[in-house]
Structure 1
Amino acid sequence: MQGLVDKREVHKHHEETVLLRSHEMVSSHAMRFIAGWQRLHERFDSASATPDPGLVAETLRQATIALAHKGFGVPFGWAFLMDRMTVHITAPVPHGAGGPAVSLEARAERVATRGSRLRGLVSHVVFGVEGRQIATGRGELRVIDDRLYERLRGDRSHLTNLDLPPRNLRDSPALRSSPHGLRGREWRVVFDPRDVLYFDHPVDHVPGMLLFQAARKAATQFVADAELVGFDGEYHRFVELSAPILVRIESSRPLDALRREVVVGVYDADTLAMSSRVIMALGGLKRSGLDQFGGSENGPMLRIANHSWQDDLPHPSESLEKVRAAGRGD
């Protein structure tokens, strides 16, 4: 069954923030999508041929949500919590980010149900342009009904981003100097609570995509002349809208001559809210030569595989615990 993507199916109110155009049900556990990045590519790094990790991550998020609604009948109004998200950039985009349509193949695994209701799944998504794989991603989704969400959040669910004053920022989120004086390793995260990219509709906590962007910006500032080609992040708790947010470089090490791993923590006040492992390509994806490991230029797009690069690496929270035990690395 084919059709257009309804903005409600990706939890959006504004059409300009919907990245998925059309969908096709392959089975109850698999879907194909066509995405258009032209709508938002100006908010990201449109000058680079490397697929923007922010666009990939947001498209992964929308595909995971749509798969849960269309494939498993989750009612609108239920809460979707992304406990973990991974992104892997594998090849440049032909003609740049604002060019051709992006095709997605999404499959649900580790499906958990209670009775007839979905409680969680893991989505595996492959991104392709003109038959070439350009990125892969995975999202670990937890689904809870609206009444349970109200109990979980309590009085905090009554404060939304609309209760905060707007902030005139040229680029949100933005990193500011650390209150602890850790120059070049820690930053305060500030954001505009009316930015439609992250706050498309009223929410009672800081969205996970904003935390992803904060971690990405921290890693990019820490590793000069490099592009993010891998991200593995675990969300541990809600980040409250009124709380001070800090992003910190916990450790960094070379993986090889072309890549550097950076462990990044995002904190709600002093409490760890997201731990992540970020892989940076030195000199960028194209200059580093890492794009040779992407999909074939002329062959069919690679299908979703059970094994991925993340399977060989420790969980982000495990990496952070090792850093804390050993002391901060270089």
Structure 2
Amino acid sequence: MAGGLHADEARPVLGFESTVSRRFVHRRAVAEVFLTDCVASNTPDNFTLGAQWPRLHSYYRSHTGRYDTMLLVETLRQATIYLAHTRYRVPLGHPFVMHTLRVDTTAHTPTIGDRPAEVTIDAHVGDQIYRGNTLARFSVTYVCSIDGIEIGRGVGTASVFTPAAYAQLRWGGSGPRLIGTPVCPAPIAAEHVGQSRPEDVVLGGEHAPNRWTLRVDDTHPILFDHPSDHVPGMLVLEAFRQGARAALAQPCGDIETIEVTYHRFAENDANATVSVEAEPDSPCTVRISVEQWGQHIASGRVRLLPARIRQ
């Protein structure tokens, strides 16, 4: 188990009757909150969280009858923020910056049945760095299961800033600038990336082989659940997923592994390019980068499972 969480510890009873407060996971829409409960372990810095996944999500859905890996990614993003606020006393209103994230699924990710999935997440918080008495940087490792069967693991690192420190990091001494119109070109064909609606595509026209303009639609109700002064991290990861599907010609490919390193903020109103390169020794794996003004915004890797037919 992650971070020294022992398998012989009594499994806590988790509640799945309602979601946690949306403010603790930085979501405006209650429907987009997946966490339902959190219980501390007897071992310091270990926690068990509950989450519920809908049988049909409006955006994160698979064509193969499996739960979409991006549901797991978003759940772990929420768990990271929730733990910092509720267990490490990070004040609400303090911005978070994700540095790295990796999620791996197992072959046991279940097919969608006749009821929502109840997900159990064992989490260990480590590598804490404090600024005064306030948590400033930390890592979290996760082991996720459904009905006692492991379905995936995750690990991520993040920093937390006071509003003043974030403003200095984001804008420097000049203060916030006026953000212009987001770059939102016409999308590529939705069927090439496993989407059914053009507005759910985050890749603009291909201007070189496996190179697309990042499409930033700040009216999208999921990817922009709330206003953001930069391209949200989940939009970048969706670009990773769609880029992998398009480059590998697997529009229904489910994610086996997705990992990202965020290098800097991506501006909404400037062209950014999503580039995909296949790994020659792994036919279902690609390396992906997002660049803006010739600088790396994010880089990482995606491995897809071969698409399978719904049973």
* TM-score computed with the length of structure 1 as normaliser: 0.76
Partner of 1:59: 75
- Per the alignment, residue 240 of structure 1 pairs with 267
Which of 208, 215, 229 in structure 1 is aligned with 2:240? 215
- Of residues 211, 218, 243, the one that matches 1:193 is 218
The unaligned stretches of length 5 or more in structure 1 are: 288-330
1:267 aligns with 2:294: no
Report Cα offsets for 1:284-316 as digits up to 9, x if no partner.
5999xxxxxxxxxxxxxxxxxxxxxxxxxxxxx
1:13 has 2:41 as partner: no
Q: In terms of mean alpha carbon deviation, does 278-287 or 70-79 score higher?
A: 278-287
Taking only the aligned residue pairs, the percentage that are identical comes to 29
After superposition, give the CA deviation of every residue in 1:223-243 in whole Å (9 maximum; x if it has no partner). Answer: 134432011210000001101
- In 2, Cα distance between the equivalents of 1:39 and 1:164? 32
Shift of 1:283: 4.3
The 8 Å contact of residues 167 and 175 in structure 2, kept in 1 or not, is answered as no
**Which of residues 160, 165, 169 in structure 2 aligns to 1:143?**
160
Q: 1:172 to 1:160 in 2, by over 3 A?
A: farther
How many residues of Structure 1 are paired with residues of Structure 2 in the alignment? 280
Match of 2:203 among 175, 195, 203: 175
Equivalent position amino acid for 2:297 in 1: A
Query: Cα deviations across residues 86-107 of structure 1 (Å, max 9, x unaligned)?
Result: 0101134434176321111111
Secondary structure of the structure 2 residue equivalent to 1:101:
strand
Shift of the 37–73 alpha-carbon distance from structure 1 to 2, 3 Å rule, reads: same
1:83 aligns with 2:86: no
CA distances 1:204-247 after superposition (whole Å, capped 9, x unpaired): 00001100000111111111344320112100000011011211
Change (3 A) 1:164 1:213: closer
**Aligned-residue RMSD, C-alpha:** 2.9
Using the size of structure 2 for normalisation, the TM-score is: 0.80
Q: Distance in 2 between matches of 1:118 and 1:132?
A: 33
- 2:141 corresponds to 1:119: no
Counterpart of 1:175, as a letter, is: L
Structure 2 segments unaligned to the other structure (5+ residues): 1-11, 187-196
| Cα drift, residue 47 of structure 1 | 3.7
- Using the alignment, how far apart are the partners of 1:64 and 1:278 within structure 2? 21
In structure 2, how many angstroms separate the alpha carbons of the residues matched to 1:100 and 1:8? 23
Question: 1:265 corresponds to which letter in structure 2?
Answer: S
State which of 280, 283, 295 in structure 2 corresponds to 1:253: 280
Distance (whole Å) between structure 1 residues aligned to residue 263 and residue 112 of structure 2: 35
Following superposition, the deviation at residue 138 of structure 1 comes to: 1.0
Question: What is the identity, as a one-letter code, of the residue corresponding to 1:82?
Answer: M
Change (3 A) 1:14 1:39: farther
Matching residue of 2:66: 50
2:125 aligned residue: 108
